[in-house]
Structure 1
Amino acid sequence: MNASPFRRFLALTIPQRGPIILGVLLILAATLLMLPAPWILKLIIDDALPGKNMELMVKLLAAFTGLFMLRAWLTLVRNRILQFAAMRLVCDIRIKLFAHLQSLSLRYFDTNQTGRTIGRITQDTNEVYALTNGFLITVIADSVTVVCVLGFLFWIEWHLALAVTAVLPLFVFNYLHHRKRMRQESRAHRDNWDKVMGFLNERVAAARVVKSFAKEQDEISSFAGGINADYFNFSRIVMRNTKLSVVADLLGSLGALVVLAYGGWMVMQGQMEVGTLVAFNAYITFIFPPIVRFVDLSAIFQRANTGLENIFTMLDTKPEVADAADAKALPALRGELEFRDVGFDYDLEMPGKGRPRTLSNVSFNIPAGKIVAIVGPSGSGKSTIINLIARFYDVASGAVLVDGHDIRTVTTDSLRKQIGIVLQESVLFSGTLEDNIKYGRPDATREQILDAANAANAHEFITKLPDGYATVVGERGSKLSGGQRQRIAIARAILKDPRILIFDEATSALDTQSERLIQQAMERLMQNRTSFIIAHRLSTIQNADIILVMDQGRLAEMGTHAELLTKDGLYSRLHALQFKDPA
C-alpha cells in the first residue's frame, strides 16, 4: 500500500487508538498462548508416555486444556473489541465523506457519476472495515507467530530451523512477482464496478423514460455488458490469487518435506528425539500456513489500497466555491442585486474557437423588490444567471453583488438562507409532506406550516389525503403529481421567507389548472421580494418590472414588456413567434 494513504489512514484511526491497542495486545496474548502446545506434545511423547507417568500426563493435559480455554476467551474479547472499533471507524469515515460531499461545488456533481460517488461512501469504506478487522488481526497474529516460532525453532535445533528459513524468501519472491498486476487488476475491477453502479443508478431513476421508449431489452444488454466485464475483471483477480496461493502452498509443502527428511535423518542418527521432531513438525504448521494466509490477504490488501486511494481522492477534492478566510455573515437583505461585467464558463478550460463563453460581459442592476423575468433561446445563459446569484458557481470575471456586497466576500450559508429557489422539476425528499415543507426551517410551528401551505394553494389537496400532512411522499415525491410537488416546493420557499426568490421554469410542465394555482401562489410569494422568473412562455412574464433578454451568453436587451416590443429586437421576434396566428 502506498505510504501516504496508509499514513493518512492511521491518522483516521486515532479516535479508536485505545480499543485498537487493547485489541492488538489481546492478539499478542492469544498468539503466545498457542506456542507451548507443540512442546507439551513433545513432553507427552518423550517423557510421560515412555515412563508411564500418569501424574505428569494429567498435568500436561490440564495445562494444554487451560491454555486453549484461556486463548478462546481472549479471542472472543479481542474480536468483540476490534469489530466495534472497526465499525466505529468506518462509520466515522462515512460521516466525514458525506460531510465533505456537502461542501463540494456543483461542478463535482456535474462531472462525477452518482454511482461512483455513492461507491466511495459504501463499498470503499467496507474495504476499510476488512482492512481494520480481518486484515489487522490476521497480520499481527501471524507475524508474531512466525517470528516467535522461528526463534524457538532456532533454540531447539538451529540446523533444521536454518533449512526452514531458506524456503521463506521464495514466498516473498512469489508475492512480489504478482504484486503490480494485482494492484492494476484491482483498480480495473473497481473502476468498471463504479461505472456499473452509475449506470444502475441512472436507469433505476429513469425507469419511466426507459419504458416510454421501449428500451428495456437494450438496457438489459448494456447492463449485462457491464456485469460481464465485472465477471472478467473479477475472474482475473481470482486467478491471480489462486496462482499465488497454489505456489505458496507448494512452497509450504516443500518446507514440511525438508523438516521431515532432515529431521527424520537426525532421529535415525540419534541426534534428535522423536517427540522433538513431532514438536518441530507441529511448529512448522505455525509458520507456513500463516505465510500462505499472507498471500491470501494480499487480495484484501489490494482492495483496501484501491479503496483508500478512492476515499482520499474524494477528501482531497477542494470545493471550487468556498468561503474566504475573512468572509462575514450577510446581514438581512433588502434584495438589490447587480451583475457587474460578469463572465463565466462551465468548462474549466478557456473557450475554444467557435465556442463562446456561457456568459460574457453581462451587466445589470436590479432594485430591491422588483420582479425580473429572464428570457431567451435555450442555452442562452438564463439558468447560469440563477446559478451565479445563488453562488453555486463563482464567476470567472466580474462580480455579483447583493445590497452592494460582493457575494464572494460573505458566507455562502448566510447568502443562500436568504434565497428561495423553485425549480422546474422540484425535488422532494422521501418523508412526510410536513417534513418537506419545513425543510428550510425545521423549527417552524404548525401554524406557520399551515399558513405556508395555504399561501401555496397546497393545503386543500393535502387535507384530502388520508394522512394529511403526515402523508409519506415517496422517493423524490413520486406519489404526488407534478402540480402538487410544485405547490409543496412553493410552500417550502414561503416558509423559508427569503428576500430573493428564483423560479426556474416553475410552471412550464404543468396543466392549465395547476399552472393557474401555482401562478396565484407565486404572486403571493413575490410580494415585496426581489424575484427572478425564468420562462419560455412569454405570456407568463408580461407584467414583470424588468425583462432580461439573453442571447448566446450576452445580455441582448433589457426593459419592460412594452419597451422591448417597440425595439423590434430579439424579444419582439420571440413574442411574434409565440403569438402569431396559426397558418
Structure 2
Amino acid sequence: MGDRVKVPGAFLRRSPLLRCLAIYGDMPGRFLLTATLLAGVNIALVGQQVLVGHAVQEAQHGKLVRIGPDGLLDYDRAWFWVALLLALSLARAAVQYGAGLLSLSIGQRLLTILRERILVQIQRLDLAYHWRHGVGEMVTRMTRDADKVRDALINFWRQIFETGLIIAISLGLLWVYSPWLALTPALLLLAGIAMLWSEADALVALDRRIGDAYDAVTQDLSEGINGVRVIKAFSLGEARTARFQRHVDLFRAEARAAIRHASRRVPLPQTIIALSHAWVLGFGAWMVAHGTLGLGALVAAMLVVNMLVLRIEGIGRLLQVIADARASAARIWEVLDAEPVIQSGGKALPAGAIGFRLSHVSASPLGDGAAVLRDLHLEVRPGEVVALVGATGSGKSMLTSLLPRLVEADEGRVELGSQAQGWQDVREGDLRELRRRVHVLPQESFLFSDTLAANLRLCAPDATDAQLHEALDKAAAGELLSRLGDGLETRVGDRGATLSGGQRQRVCLARALLADADILVLDDATSALDARTERRAIDNIRGLRNGRARPLTMLIVASRLSTALAADRVALLSGGRIVAEGTHQQLASDNAAYRALMGL
C-alpha cells in the first residue's frame, strides 16, 4: 500500500497508537500551528494566575486602592488590573477557540486517512483473509476502533503537550517561590502518574475483550439486516433477537468489567496527586507566617497548583481513554500490516486470444491444507465454451476463483495462453491486467445501491447509453428497461433489492459483457433464469464472440441440463479432479455419474 505510514523503527512497530500518531506527519503545517496556539494559551493561563497573585500582593500593601489628595478613593490601579486580566482572558479565549477548531479539523483529517487506508487495505487483501474475518469485524475496525483512536489522539497530543507545558511552567514558578514548594508536588505527581500508568496494560486487555464482543454484535446486526428476507420467511425473528441480545449482554458485561476496574484503581493515584494542594497551602502558610513568602505569592502558588492538579487528574482519565485506544489501534494495525498472499507479477499477459490450462492443481479455500481441488488437470482452448459440472461442494467455485487469482493454488500451475503462443503462469502476470481480461461472474448477483447505469458502467466508465442498451440486449435483459420508470437512471436499491433474482443476474451479465474480457467465467450466474432466457443469453454471447477481433473463451459452471447443452464441451468435476470430458452426447452415453448428475 503506497500511502502507508512510514515507521521509523522497531519501537513504533510495537506501539500501535504512536504509529497512528505519526499520521499527523501528513499535515505538519496545521499540526505545528495548532501546537503553537495551544502553547500560547497555556502560557497565558499560567501568566494569568501570576498576575492575580501580583494584584493580591498590591492589595495587601494598600497599593490597589489609594486615597487621593482630595480625600477620594483612587481606583486607577484596580481598574488597571481588571482591564489587564480581562484583556488577557479575552485574547486567550479567542486563541483557544481557533486552536480548538484546528484540533478538531486535524482530528477529522486523521480519521479520514485511517478509514481510507483501512478501506484500501481491505480491497488489497485476498478472499481467504475475508473468509477468516467477518464483515462485522471489518466494519468495527473502520468505525468504532477508528473513532476511538481519533478521540484518543486528539486528547493525547493536546493534553500531553498542554499538560507538559503546565507542569514545566508551574513547577518552575513554584521553584522560584521556594524549591520545597516545587519538589514535593513533583514527587507526588510522579508517584500518581506511575500508578496510573501501571494500570494501562490491564485496561488494554479489558478493552480488547470489549472490542471482540462488539465485533460479534456488529456481525450479528449485519447478518440480521442482510438476511432479513430469510428471517421473515422462516419466522426466525424471535430466535435472531434472542441471539443478538446474548451478544449485547456479553458486550455490556465486558464494558461493566472495564468500568469496575477503572473505578477501583484510578481514584487512589488521583488522591495522591491531590495532596499537592495540602502541601502548598500548609507549607506556603508557614512561609508567609515567617515572612519568607508574600500573601500574593501564596495565592498565585495555590492557583497554579490547583490548575496543575486538575490537569493531572485529567491525565488519569486520558490514560484510560488511551488504554482503550491502544487496543483499537492494535486491531487497526492488524489489518493494515496484513500482507496479501496474492502479489502481482510484472509480466504482461499474452496479447492475442487466450485460453487457460490447469496442471496438477491443488487448492484449499483458507490455505490451511484442507484441499478442495487435488491434482486437477483442465485445458480450455481460446474461443471454446466449456461447461463445468459437478456435485454440490465439489470445488467448482474454487476452480473459477483460481483463474483471476481471487484465491491461490497451493500446488500446480494455472496458466493463460494457447498452444500456438505458449503458456504463462498467472502468478507472473500483472494482477490488474489479469482481472481485466479474466472476468468471473459469481452466482451471487451483487448490485450497488445506485442507478442501473452506474452499476453497468463499473467496468466500462466511458460506455455510452447505446452501449448499455446493447449489453442489456445481449444479456437477454432488454425488456427490463421498459418496466423501470426512470430507465437507466432507475435506482436499484440496496444490493439490487428492487429487482428480481433473474433480473439482477442479467444486469450483472450485461455488466460483465461491458468489461470486454477475453475469458468470461459464469459461476452458476444464470441459475435464476428460465431455460429459454438462459439459452437466449448464451446464444447472444456466442454471436458477440464471433463478432470480436479476439474470440471469447467461456467457462460456464452448470447445474442444469440446458446449460450443458449450450456448451462445446463438458468437464465433470468429482473428488477435486476432472474425471471426464467430452460433449454432452458422449458423456450421456458413456458416463453413469454424469447421467445421474444431470438427471438423465
TM-score by length of 1: 0.93
CA contact (8 A) 1:379 1:552 kept: no
Query: What residue in structure 1 maps to residue 313 of structure 2?
Result: 292
Residue 225 in structure 1 maps to residue 239 in structure 2 = no
Report SS of the residue matched to 1:503.
strand
Report SS of the residue matched to 1:372.
strand
Deviation by residue 1:315-341 (Cα, 9 ceiling, x = unmatched): 1111111112xx123244413221112
Using the alignment, how far apart are the partners of 1:66 and 1:495 within structure 2? Answer: 68
Using the alignment, how far apart are the partners of 1:408 and 1:199 within structure 2? Answer: 37
CA contact (8 A) 2:177 2:293 kept: no
Report SS of the residue matched to 2:581.
strand
Query: What residue in structure 2 maps to residue 526 of structure 1?
Result: 542
Query: What residue in structure 2 maps to residue 442 of structure 1?
Result: 461
Change (3 A) 1:243 1:63: farther
Among 38, 61, 69, the residue aligned to 1:27: 38
Report SS of the residue matched to 1:339.
strand
Which region of structure 1 is more displaced relative to structure 2, 303-312 or 552-561?
303-312
Among 190, 208, 211, the residue aligned to 1:190: 211
Which region of structure 1 is more displaced relative to structure 2, 230-239 or 110-119?
230-239
Report SS of the residue matched to 1:13.
helix
Among 273, 281, 301, the residue aligned to 2:294: 273
Report SS of the residue matched to 1:33.
helix
Change (3 A) 1:65 1:199: same
Among 381, 387, 392, the residue aligned to 2:401: 387
Report SS of the residue matched to 1:541.
helix
Residue 552 in structure 1 maps to residue 572 in structure 2 = no
Deviation by residue 1:205-228 (Cα, 9 ceiling, x = unmatched): 001111222121111111111111
Query: What residue in structure 2 maps to residue 417 of structure 1?
Result: 436
Which region of structure 1 is more displaced relative to structure 2, 359-368 or 479-488?
359-368
Report SS of the residue matched to 2:45.
coil
Q: Supply the AA of the counterpart residue of 1:435.
A: A
CA contact (8 A) 1:13 1:89 kept: yes
Residue 358 in structure 1 maps to residue 372 in structure 2 = yes
Shift of 1:282: 0.9
CA contact (8 A) 1:178 1:240 kept: no
Q: Supply the AA of the counterpart residue of 2:24.
A: T
Among 481, 486, 494, the residue aligned to 2:513: 494
Query: What residue in structure 2 maps to residue 119 of structure 1?
Result: 140
Deviation by residue 1:538-570 (Cα, 9 ceiling, x = unmatched): 243124221111111011111111222332342
Residue 43 in structure 1 maps to residue 46 in structure 2 = no
Instruction: Give runs of aligned pairs for residues 470-481 of structure 1, distance below 5 A.
Output: 470-481=489-500
Using the alignment, how far apart are the partners of 1:249 and 1:406 within structure 2? Answer: 65
Using the alignment, how far apart are the partners of 1:333 and 1:110 within structure 2? Answer: 35
Query: What residue in structure 2 maps to residue 94 of structure 1?
Result: 115
Residue 401 in structure 1 maps to residue 422 in structure 2 = no
Using the alignment, how far apart are the partners of 1:340 and 1:534 within structure 2? Answer: 19
CA contact (8 A) 1:556 1:570 kept: no
CA contact (8 A) 2:39 2:165 kept: yes
Query: What residue in structure 2 maps to residue 235 of structure 1?
Result: 256
Query: What residue in structure 2 maps to residue 345 of structure 1?
Result: 364
Query: What residue in structure 2 maps to residue 106 of structure 1?
Result: 127
CA contact (8 A) 1:335 1:402 kept: yes
Q: Supply the AA of the counterpart residue of 1:532.
A: L
Q: Supply the AA of the counterpart residue of 1:57.
A: A
Using the alignment, how far apart are the partners of 1:256 and 1:227 within structure 2? Answer: 43
Query: What residue in structure 1 maps to residue 387 of structure 2?
Result: 373
Report SS of the residue matched to 1:214.
coil
TM-score by length of 2: 0.90
Using the alignment, how far apart are the partners of 2:156 and 2:470 within structure 1? Answer: 57
Q: Supply the AA of the counterpart residue of 1:25.
A: T
Shift of 1:533: 1.2
Change (3 A) 1:430 1:418: same
CA contact (8 A) 1:535 1:541 kept: yes
Residue 517 in structure 1 maps to residue 542 in structure 2 = no
Query: What residue in structure 2 maps to residue 542 of structure 1?
Result: 565
Change (3 A) 1:3 1:336: closer
Change (3 A) 1:227 1:573: closer
Q: CA RMSD in A?
A: 2.0
Report SS of the residue matched to 2:19.
helix
CA contact (8 A) 1:245 1:292 kept: no
Shift of 1:48: 3.5
Using the alignment, how far apart are the partners of 1:538 and 1:150 within structure 2? Answer: 86
Among 198, 203, 212, the residue aligned to 2:233: 212
Which region of structure 1 is more displaced relative to structure 2, 141-150 or 90-99?
90-99
Among 191, 196, 199, the residue aligned to 1:178: 199
Using the alignment, how far apart are the partners of 1:11 and 1:181 within structure 2? Answer: 25
Q: Supply the AA of the counterpart residue of 1:250.
A: T
Shift of 1:172: 2.4
Report SS of the residue matched to 1:501.
strand
Q: Supply the AA of the counterpart residue of 2:559.
A: H
Gaps of 5+ in 2: 1-11, 67-74, 418-422, 546-551
Q: Supply the AA of the counterpart residue of 2:359.
A: R
Gaps of 5+ in 1: 352-356
Query: What residue in structure 2 maps to residue 354 of structure 1?
Result: none
CA contact (8 A) 1:48 1:56 kept: no
Query: What residue in structure 1 maps to residue 338 of structure 2?
Result: 317
Identity fraction in percent: 27
Count of matched residue pairs: 567
Shift of 1:519: 2.6
Shift of 1:43: 2.1
Query: What residue in structure 2 maps to residue 64 of structure 1?
Result: 85
Shift of 1:253: 3.7
Query: What residue in structure 1 maps to residue 185 of structure 2?
Result: 164
Residue 458 in structure 1 maps to residue 469 in structure 2 = no
Shift of 1:88: 1.5
